[in-house]
Amino acid sequence: MDFDLTAEQREIQTLAREFANAEIEPHASEWDRAHGFPRELLAKLGDLGLMGVCVPEEYGGAGADFVSYVLVLEELSRADAGVGVTVAVHTSACTLPLLQFGTEEQRARFVPPLARGEGVGCFALTEPGAGSDAGALVTRADADGDGWHVSGAKQWITNAAFGGTVLLFARTDAETKSARGVSAFIVDTDQITITRTEEKLGLNSSVTNDIAIDTHIDGDRLIGDQNHGFRIAMATLDGGRIGIAAQAVGIAQAAYDVARRYAKEREAFGHPIADFQAIQHKLANMSMEIDAARLLTLRAAWLKKEGRPHTEAGAKAKLFASEMARRQTSEAIQVLGGYGYTKEFPVERYYRDAKITEIYEGTSEIQRLVIAREILGQRANAPAT
């Protein structure tokens, strides 16, 4: 067993950390208030290869491995969780499934612009009536000449307003109401309409849109086999969850860094508060839980990199890391006392940002269901988004 990162993994981690420290973290509070970061940031990330970290070089990526990508997501999320999710959805939920499930022609056509950061990737599964129960989706794709007529509405689609490529799921078998009969399509963002930009508790620098679609798309936009798209959605989320676990670790690490520094500086009763055992225990718990979450995350990332089954490991990493981030960002506020509750320090933002990691790419309840199904050997038609 080797707990060391490779030289290449360390190099990419350092690159992401230095970029995040210089170009992201100093602006994160401002972007939180402004509800967005400048589009040019994505071009800079693209120039550094961070929009296609684990995409092979022949498809325009940096050619690094999945562990490197997860390390990048932790660093970006430590600086700004909204930037972290933008890159996570773009990569894990759009670029990588196109690589994995697309034909060679589709890969060559759609992946390089994404990997270079020229377009931004989206994943459109959720609908107003279909979240955890994604198999209940009602967006339709009806055969139409040489292609499909796609019509419906999707909800809370990260990145849709940026412009780029959408991996969209629609029902191709109108007779079937379950997960069977769903297919996956590649759609350009100019084929969709943004109907709403969501106001959120946190993660404000990222963009979350409702979208509508009512258009013809060509036959070569079908990804994988007709009526078997739900498997693509589930496989995508299996990998995507590892990225969300890394996001949660990054947010918690940021909160811990602030709390630890503050505890050594703030004085009460003639002592730095770090001298009080109650505060020491909080910091010890934070440090331990962040370590545990990071190890679970890196194990899951390593399994995926090795091409080994990672459903259970990814769900455990996401579940533990997200609940840990919610707990420990709250503890960080407690260490800072009243200052922690104000916008003078970033820990209130970390607390707001952490909450979403318990919800998207599968709620904590659904992660427990996925883990239970794996350990009990039940693979039947249970919901799993």
Catalytic residue numbers, as ranges: 361
User: Which stretch in 97-105, 155-163, 212-220, 305-313 sits in contact with ligand FAD by CB under 6 A?
Assistant: 155-163
Residue 250 CB, nearest approach to ligand FAD (Å):
16
Indicate the DSSP class of residue 229. H
Residues 261-300 that bind ligand FAD (CB under 6 A): none
Measured CA to CA, the distance from residue 114 to residue 124 in angstroms comes to 16
Mark residues 345-364: x for contact with ligand FAD by CB under 6 A, - for none: -----------x--xxxxx-
Q: Can you tell me which of 81, 179, 254, 366 binds ligand FAD, judged by CB under 6 A? A: 366
Residue 111 CB, nearest approach to ligand FAD (Å):
19
Q: How does DSSP assign 157-200, residue by residue?
A: EETGGG-EEEEEEEES-TT--SSTTEEEEEEEGGGEEEEEE---
Residue 369 CB, nearest approach to ligand FAD (Å):
6
For residues 158 and 85, the answer to whether their CB atoms sit within 8 Å is yes
Measured CA to CA, the distance from residue 352 to residue 168 in angstroms comes to 28
Residue 119 CB, nearest approach to ligand FAD (Å):
15
In the bound state with ligand FAD, the residue whose beta carbon lies nearer, of 113 and 383, is: 383
In the bound state with ligand FAD, the residue whose beta carbon lies nearer, of 227 and 364, is: 364
Nearest to 325 by CA among 38, 153, 81: 81
Q: CB count, 10 Å around CB of 324?
A: 26
Residue 101 CB, nearest approach to ligand FAD (Å):
17
For residues 335 and 279, the answer to whether their CB atoms sit within 8 Å is yes
In the bound state with ligand FAD, the residue whose beta carbon lies nearer, of 9 and 209, is: 209
Residue 320 CB, nearest approach to ligand FAD (Å):
16
Residues 31-60 that bind ligand FAD (CB under 6 A): none
Q: Can you tell me which of 113, 131, 164, 346 binds ligand FAD, judged by CB under 6 A? A: 131
Q: Per the structure block, which two tokens stand in for 140?
A: 């339709």
In the bound state with ligand FAD, the residue whose beta carbon lies nearer, of 13 and 189, is: 189
Q: Can you tell me which of 89, 179, 274, 279 binds ligand FAD, judged by CB under 6 A? A: 89
Residue 210 CB, nearest approach to ligand FAD (Å):
11
Burial zone of 199 (CB within 10 Å; 0-12 exposed, 13-18 middle, 19+ buried)? exposed
Residues 205-264 that bind ligand FAD (CB under 6 A): 208
Q: Can you tell me which of 27, 109, 180, 200 binds ligand FAD, judged by CB under 6 A? A: 200
Q: CB count, 10 Å around CB of 154?
A: 27
End-to-end CA distance of the chain: 32
Angle between helices 229-265 and 66-79 (to 10 degrees): 50
In the bound state with ligand FAD, the residue whose beta carbon lies nearer, of 151 and 197, is: 197
Residue 184 sits in the site that holds ligand FAD (CB under 6 A): no
Measured CA to CA, the distance from residue 227 to residue 181 in angstroms comes to 4
Residue 328 sits in the site that holds ligand FAD (CB under 6 A): no
Give the three-state DSSP class for 154. Answer: strand
Residue 159 φ/ψ region, left for φ over 0, alpha for ψ in the -120 to 50 degree band, beta for the rest = left
Residue 124 sits in the site that holds ligand FAD (CB under 6 A): yes
Measured CA to CA, the distance from residue 145 to residue 150 in angstroms comes to 13
Indicate the DSSP class of residue 228. B
In the bound state with ligand FAD, the residue whose beta carbon lies nearer, of 201 and 284, is: 201
Q: Can you tell me which of 69, 123, 262, 320 binds ligand FAD, judged by CB under 6 A? A: 123
Q: Which residues contact 283 (CB under 8 A, 6 or more apart)?
A: 256, 259, 260, 263, 274, 335
In the bound state with ligand FAD, the residue whose beta carbon lies nearer, of 258 and 366, is: 366
Site residues (vs ligand FAD, CB under 6 A): 89, 123-126, 131-132, 156-158, 200, 203, 208, 356, 359-363, 365-366, 369, 383, 385
